[in-house]
Every structure is written in structure tokens, then in C-alpha cells.
Amino acid sequence: MVAALEGPAFTMAVNGEAWETTFDKAWYPRFSPDGRLTVLVQADGDWTLAVDDVAWEEQYGYVWNTMFSASGDIIAACIQQDGEYGFSIDGTPWETLFENANQPVFSKAGNAAAAVVQVKSLAQADIATFQEGIFSVAVNGEAWDSIFVNCWNPVFDPAGKNVAATIRRSLYDYSVAVNGKAWTGSYACAWAPAFNPATGAVAAPVRKAGAWGMAIDDAMAWEPRFGQLWQQAFSPDGSKLAAIACTRFGEFTVAVDGTPWGVSFPVVTDLTPSPAGARFAALASEHNTNFAVLCDGKVWDGRYDMAYAPVWSADGAHLALAVEKAGRQTIVVNGKAYPQSFDKCYAPAFSPDGKLVLIRALAGGKCHRIVAPVTAFTG
């Protein structure tokens, strides 16, 4: 909670207890995976990040987009200082800042942060310089040697050692660059790349001859035959690659290793690979209603007014998510709903053995924490 005190001062209150420090402004409260409460705060005109009532010492012109390593031990945020942009990691800014930096990413291991950075100045309406290339990707404050017209969607491999990004070498020549080295392949368009966590191969949807296919390591792996292809994800063992695919105009599904599932919907989102077992889940909907859950090519029976991101158990045996129907929310596991409904449900979590589900919810102004066995979901 961001709590307003008297006058224009803000602080944080956790379970009814207020922090000691107050700030002129506070926003973007986020819990880190290890349970610390962070918030972006302003005092005396400067911004910084406060973690559990302690603000970083360094202050900046602006701070935003708090990010965490997978375990939550390392915290990163985007910063702007004197009109220059970059990252601050646990309060330490990048050594080099850039004229602009956006599309920030933080590696799971917390060892590296990257962003698309502007490495050359651009005068107003100077289209010539832009087209010669002014963008690159900076990793931990150091930009790639190569410069492109555009860079988009930098992504890390799980170890945070390698970075891939979509690039545009001219207005018409899209490709992918890995650690600054561009693929030779040239495409009419390309979406965000993804690393194979096992082999380190890079896959990206690319458009060729009016259709989308999947290129892996600079070679066409799925022939271009889709109307769209995006949000590809490898199974963590690297054995399978899935992506959201448009098979005909207005019809979407998931394609696994290039083969679409037999069901299609107007919209498919939230493709999620299982941590083990090489399974995939996704959400389907029409016009933002009538949400359905797709799991390994099967459609669960339930239809919902809204569905939230699905969560797998560690062994990939169970799938849970929060759903909403007629204004009430609940948790659904393996297609079956929890018997009780709430005003709001947060993302569910599985116990490490996958047998129990943690439900965190609000109802009647009260917080509920329920630990239920997967067998309790019967609705």
C-alpha cells in the first residue's frame, strides 16, 4: 500500500504498519520474490528506490521499472540522470549512461542488465542520421560494437551470459543479433528472439514472402506459412519449441515444433511452458471475453470473463490460474475450480512437490491465504 499521510507526504504501510521514512512522492510498489517491499520514491526533487524502509543512497533524476533477479536477491531499476539513461543495480548505476535507453531486461541470475541504447546523437527531424543507425544494445553499461537502425526486445539466456535482440539494419531489413553479431538472414519483419535454455540456440519469428516462419540460428526452421507467429517459448529442457500462431486470418492457436494444435480461437495469449515435462499452456479468448485455457492442445471446459497468467507445478503435472466470472474470482487447477470465490485472486503458487496450491485472495476487505491440495479443486 502507498499511504498518504497528512500534507503532500507519502509512505508505505505493510499490514497496517507504516514505514518510518516519508517521501514527497511514492509509486510502483512491488514485492521482490524474496518478500522485500520496494517502492520508487522522491525526496527533495530526486528519485530513488526504497527497499523495506531503506532508500538507496544514490539518487537520480528519475527511477522506474523495478526488476528483480529470479531469487529476488538483486534489484535493478531504470534510471535517468542529467538526461542520460541506464540502470541502477542495487543502488549502483551503470558506469556509462546513454542518451536514451529503453526495453530494459534483467537476467534471471541477476548478473546482467541490458537495454536498447542510443549511441549517437540525433538532431530534430534528422532522418538521414537515423537511417544510418544510432541504436545498439548495452549490457551492464557497455554497448555492442555494432550499431543498427533499430534494436528491439533484447533477451538474456538463463545464465545471463548471452543477449539476443531483434534488429533492423535498414528500414526494410529485419534480422536478429546475438551478442552484437547480426544474422546474415534478412527478413521483411521479425519479432522478439528467445534462447533455447539447453543448447543456447536462438529462435525468432521472421516474415518472408508475406508469411511468418521460425528462424533458428540464422536458418529457417519452420517454413513461413503462418499469418502471424510470436511469443515463442522453449521447454526448459530445450526439446520443444512452441509459439502462438495465426493459421488463418482471425484464427490463432499454438504451434509446437511447427505443427499447430487442432483448435483455434480469435485470440491466443500467455503461452507458458512447464518447468518440466515439455508441456505448454496458453489462454484463448474472443474479443477479451469467453476466456478458455489451452493445455497441450486440449481445451478445458470452463469459460471465463477474464483469465490470468497460468502457473505450472514444478513437475509440469498441474496447471493453475486465477479466473473471473460474473465479477467473482477463483483459482482453477487442471480445469476444476476451487469451491469458494473471492473479490480478487492473486497468482496461485504450487508447493515444490506440486501437491498443494497456495491461494492468495481478497474477499470482503480481508486477505485470505489458503493452502489447498490439488484434489480440493472440484468445481
Partner 1 sequence: MHALYDLAVGPLAWLAFAVFILGSIYRLMSMRALALKKDAAFVAYISWPHAIRSLLHWVTPFGALGWRENPGVTIVTFLFHICLFVAPLFLMGHIVLFDTFHGWSWPALPDGVADTLSIVVVAACAYFLWRRLSVPEVRFVTRSHDWLVLALVGATFLTGVLAYHRIGDNLFMTTLHVLCGEAMLVAIPFTRLSHMLFGFFSRGYIASEFGSVRFAKDW
Partner 2 sequence: MKTIADRLIEDEGLRRGVGRLTPEKIQKVFKELVAGECGARMKTYMETCVRCGMCAKACHYYMSHKDPSYTPVAKVSQTMWRLFDADGKVDPEVIYQCAQVAYTECNLCRRCIHYCPLGIDTGYIISVVRRLCHKLGVTPQYIQDTAHSHSATMNQMWVKDDEWPDTLQWQEEESREEFPGLRIPLDVEGADFMYSVIAPEPKFRTQLIYQAAAIFHAAGVSWTMPSTPGWDNSNMAMFSGDSEIMARVERAHYETAQRLRVKRIVMGECGHAFRAVYDVANRWLGWKYHPVPVVHSVEFFWELIQQGRIKLTHKYADPVTIHDPCNIIRGRGLMDKLREVVHFLCENVVEMSPNREHNYCCCAGGGVINCGPPFKNVRIVGNSIKAEQLKATGVHTLVAPCHNCHGGLEDIISKFGLNMHTKFLGDLIYELMEKPE
Binding residues vs partner 1 (CB under 8 A) = 227, 248-250
Binding marks (x or -) toward partner 2, 8..37, rule CB under 8 A?
Answer: x----------------x-xx---------
Q: Among 11, 32, 59, 118, indicate the residue that binds partner 2 (CB under 8 A).
A: 118
Helix or strand or coil: residue 309?
coil
Measured from the CB atom, is 168 or 279 closer to partner 2?
168
By the 8 A CB rule, do 8 and 2 touch?
Answer: no
Q: What residue 118 binds from partner 1, partner 2, none (CB within 5 to 8 A, per partner kind)?
A: partner 2
Residue type, 87: F
- C-beta separation of 44 from 22 below 8 A: no
Question: Of 128 and 249, which has the nearer Cβ to partner 1?
Answer: 249
Minimum CB–partner distance for residue 242 and partner 2 (Å): 17
Candidate list 286, 353, 371, 373; residue touching partner 2; CB under 8 A: 286
**Of these partners, partner 1, partner 2, none, which one is at the site of residue 22 (CB under 5 to 8 Å by kind)?**
none
| DSSP letter, residue 22 | -
C-alpha distances in angstroms, 338 versus 113, 324, 325, 360? 39, 12, 13, 12
Residue 129: which H helix or E strand, with range? helix 127-132
| DSSP code for 130 | H
> Quick check: 326 binds partner 2 (CB under 8 A)?
no
Q: Give the chain's radius of gyration (CA, Å).
A: 23
Question: Nearest to residue 183, comparing CAs of 150, 226, 218, 140?
Answer: 218
Cross-strand bridge partners of residue 152: 166
Tell me the backbone φ, ψ of residue 376, rounded to 5 degrees. Answer: -80, -5
Residue 246 interacting partner from partner 1, partner 2, none (CB closer than 5 to 8 Å by kind): partner 2
Member of 21, 22, 65, 351 binding partner 2 (CB under 8 A): 65
Contacts to partner 2 by CB under 8 A: 8, 25, 27-28, 61-62, 64-65, 78, 80, 85, 100-103, 118, 124-128, 130-131, 135, 149-150, 152, 168, 171-172, 174, 188-189, 207, 209-210, 227-228, 230, 246, 249-250, 252, 266-267, 269, 285-288, 306, 308, 344
